[in-house]
Amino acid sequence: MIQSRIEAGGLAAIAVGDPAAALVVVVLHGRGMQAADLAPFAHSLGGDAWFVFPDAPLALPPRGYSWWPVDAEMRLRENGARDLHLLDPPGRIDARGLLARFCAAVGQGRRLVLVGFSQGGMLAMDYVLHGGRADALALLSSSRIAFAEWTPLLSRLDGLPLLVAHGHDDDELAFAAGERLRDAALAGAAQVTWVPFGGGHEIPLVVWRALRRFLRAMDVSHRDRPIAIAEGNDHA
């Protein structure tokens, strides 16, 4: 697959695959990561899609980037909170606007799937709940944020194919945070695929396989299917 560096909507990104593909998959990294950490996996996901991995706008020394300033998030983590549903990070609105411009630039007139790991998943969900366009959503090892604000917006998930994956041994964001994120998606009547796995704050092979199946099975023209909760497994 062809790989290149691009700039779109004010963000630098790595793009993998056919830029003329009918399906665009935007993958958002977590706090302290960068696009290059996840871009290699596009080659194994394959399929007829253009994969785009933007770098978040804020440099986070000594390495990586963040979608918003992390002081408030770090204070919550240091206090033992491993479900960030009370977090309302400064810069969330700005990050949402950047993501909107990026998605408009790379996804205009095409089907768009948003995939987010950890902080990237929080942003992806926040963006969709506030009216951002996505034809499917995958949230990997993530959490709710600003949940009092999210709650009345959950109906915007109605019929949306949505994958939620979380590790039982996650020491960054508790497994219960993933379960509650799943439950919030179900409350909004999303078509939820639930992938619990044995592991920590990571994206293991079982999750990449589940994401590959999710992308290949996606049929956004049939949103009247019943909600299904599918347990994760190690089979491709």
- pLDDT, residue 61, reads 87
If DSSP codes are grouped into helix, strand and coil, which group holds residue 182? helix
- pLDDT, residue 21, reads 93
- pLDDT digits 0-9 by tens, 155-205: 999 999 999 999 999 988 999 999 999 999 999 999 999 999 999 999 999
Q: Return contacts of 217-224, CB within 8 angstroms, 24+ apart.
A: 218/23, 218/113, 218/135, 218/136, 218/161, 220/111, 220/135, 220/136, 220/161, 223/159, 223/160, 223/161, 223/191, 224/159
- pLDDT, residue 81, reads 58
pLDDT average, residue stretch 133-143:
97
What does pLDDT average to over the chain? 89
- pLDDT, residue 181, reads 98
Supply 154's token pair. Answer: 């959950």
% of the chain residues with pLDDT over 70: 88
% of the chain residues with pLDDT over 90: 78
Q: How confident is the model at residue 82 (pLDDT cuts 50, 70, 90)?
A: confident
Supply 218's token pair. Answer: 């996606």
- Would you give the DSSP letter of residue 55? P
Supply 161's token pair. Answer: 């194919």
- Tell me the domains of the chain and their CATH numbers: 3-217 (3.40.50.1820)
Q: How confident is the model at residue 71 (pLDDT cuts 50, 70, 90)?
A: confident
3 state SS for 126-177: HHHHCCCCCCEEEEECCCCCCHHHHHHHHHHHCCCEEEEEEECCCCCCCHHH
Residue 230 has pLDDT above 80, yes or no: no
Amino acid at 138: A
- pLDDT, residue 48, reads 87
- pLDDT, residue 233, reads 39
Closest CA relative to residue 96, chosen from 78, 76, 71, 114: 114
- pLDDT, residue 229, reads 42
Which of the two residues, 182 and 227, has the higher pLDDT score? Answer: 182
Q: What are phi and psi of 106, to 5 degrees?
A: -95, -20
Residue 232 has pLDDT above 50, yes or no: no
Q: How confident is the model at residue 220 (pLDDT cuts 50, 70, 90)?
A: very low
Q: How confident is the model at residue 225 (pLDDT cuts 50, 70, 90)?
A: very low
